[in-house]
């Protein structure tokens, strides 16, 4: 329950920052969440055995949260500063096998893979890219090459809402720093119709059920 609380609170903090262009660091959210969760959990448990178990759980979570505080800042997840790209041509998106499926693009002296299947773009190692302006340019290049339907399967997705989905993956990658399986799911973003418009709390409520 403590870890789930951290997920929800941190998710809300980062999405608020993304939408407004300003916000507090991820570390502050984690520290406040851990303090609140510890107080609530201790109050709810009355027996000595239950209290001891709760204190152990909170202590473990606090240690994990502290590690993330030192390792991760909001800029690791979302960077609102001036980007490296001025246009989609800067990434040189290219179809490497001529089959309209396997693509590559250049960004910050690295080559990234982008895989297209019907109504889905997958960017491999997308967590490394955090600048929102550059993310938008990259998404625009992808949908100019192969558009994605919106959730209603009539409209089409726009770069802006694709960036919001990408941000959620970046956030998950850093939240689940000690869970190999969940981190592996988060490191590559899959942009598709199904996830359009899902807010960050809904997305992480589903992930929390797996914990």
Report DSSP letters for 57-126, one per residue: HHHHHHHHHHHHHHH--HHHH-B-S--S-SSGGGG--EESSSSSSEEEEEETTEEEEEEEETTEEEETTG
Distance CA 115, CA 135 (A): 16
Segment among 10-14, 131-135, 150-154, 197-201 with least mean pLDDT:
10-14
Domain boundaries, the chain: 2-73, 88-198
Distance CA 198, CA 192 (A): 12
Reported pTM: 0.68
Query: Would you state the structure tokens that stand for residue 38, as one six-digit string?
Result: 């510890």
Question: Residue 209: its pLDDT value, please?
Answer: 67
Judged against a pLDDT cut of 70, whether residue 29 lies above it is answered with: no
């Amino acid at each position: 329950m403590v870890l789930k609380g951290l997920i929800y609170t941190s998710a809300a903090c980062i999405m608020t920052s993304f939408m407004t262009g300003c916000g507090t660091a991820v570390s502050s959210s984690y520290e406040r969440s851990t303090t609140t969760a510890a107080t609530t959990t201790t109050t709810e448990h009355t027996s000595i055995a239950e209290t001891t178990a709760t204190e152990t759980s909170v202590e473990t979570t606090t240690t994990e949260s502290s590690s993330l505080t030192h390792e991760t800042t909001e800029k690791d997840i979302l960077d609102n500063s001036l980007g490296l790209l001025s246009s989609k041509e800067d990434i040189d998106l290219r179809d490497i096998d001529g089959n309209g499926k396997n693509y590559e693009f250049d960004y910050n002296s690295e080559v990234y893979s982008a895989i297209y299947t019907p109504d889905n773009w997958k960017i491999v190692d997308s967590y490394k890219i955090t600048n929102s302006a550059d993310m938008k340019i990259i998404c625009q290049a992808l949908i100019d090459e192969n558009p994605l339907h919106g959730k209603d399967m009539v409209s089409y997705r726009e770069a802006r809402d694709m960036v919001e989905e990408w941000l959620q993956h970046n956030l998950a990658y850093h939240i689940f720093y000690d869970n190999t399986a969940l981190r592996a799911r988060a490191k590559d973003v899959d942009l598709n119709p199904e996830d359009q418009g899902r807010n960050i709390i809904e997305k992480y409520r589903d992930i929390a059920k797996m914990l």
